[in-house]
Structure 1
Amino acid sequence: MRYLLMLCGGESVGEQALDTDITAPCLAWGEEMTRRGMRVDGMGLRPPESATTIRVRGGKALLTDGPFAETKEQIGGINVLECESREQAIEAARSHPWAAIGTIEVREML
């Protein structure tokens, strides 16, 4: 089963993702998960302010600069894992360094 780990953080998520204190441990985590054969892919995202949101209403595309939702937390990165169980995905997320400074949402992929 594949799981998506969404790395979320506060409004300064872009700054947190670029922080060298968290970058090295996150890269090491990715390398370890790849070594174990669990990590399929992953990457950080640019800050939410750089997003463009697209909605089609009445056949017309409406573009908005910025993230879709106005929330206190934004997605700063993702990882796709191939796991034997939900518990294995949760354990992998628990060991991710990002969990110490932000939150990680784990979802099974269809």
Structure 2
Amino acid sequence: MRYTILMHYPEETGASIGEETIAAGRKAFAAYAAALEQAGVLIGAEVLAPSDLTTTLTMADGELRVQDGPFADTKEQLGGTVVVDVPDLDAAIEWARQAPPIQWGAVEVRPGATYTVDGVWTPNT
């Protein structure tokens, strides 16, 4: 079954946390991605650009509104996603537990689904 691991954490810069910390984070992410790949469960992964590059679309009174920046006003932002294909939720949780951002943010696990021709969302199995 497919699960998306969503990684939320405070956005930092090299100036705020230091290049050494950034280098360690990159190394941790590379090791995590390699472990997922080696286990044969990795479908795809993306690290997202900083949230100040976000464009958010909403509808209000039938009109499209396009807003620069993230819509959510939070300390933590969605920083990246990993899609895995594993047997069950317990396996997805185990992989999420190993995600580096668990040390400095929150990691969410959400089942994937496929939209079918008949209009029904069905779980990927």
- Which is higher, the Rg of structure 1 or of structure 2? 2
Pairing of 1:1-110 with structure 2 (within 5 A): 1-10=1-10, 12-13=11-12, 19-110=22-113
Q: Which amino acid aligns with 2:69?
A: G
Structure 1 consecutive aligned stretches of length 4 or more whose deviation exceeds 4 Å: 13-16
Which stretch of the first structure deviates more once superposed, 79-88 or 65-74? 65-74
Q: CA deviation at 1:14?
A: 6.2
Normalised TM-score (structure 1): 0.88
Per the alignment, in what secondary structure is the counterpart of residue 87 of structure 1? helix
User: Take 2:13 and 2:88, find their aligned partners in 1: how far apart are those partners?
Assistant: 31
- Percent identical residues: 30
Normalised TM-score (structure 2): 0.78
CA RMSD, Structure 1 to Structure 2 (Å): 1.8
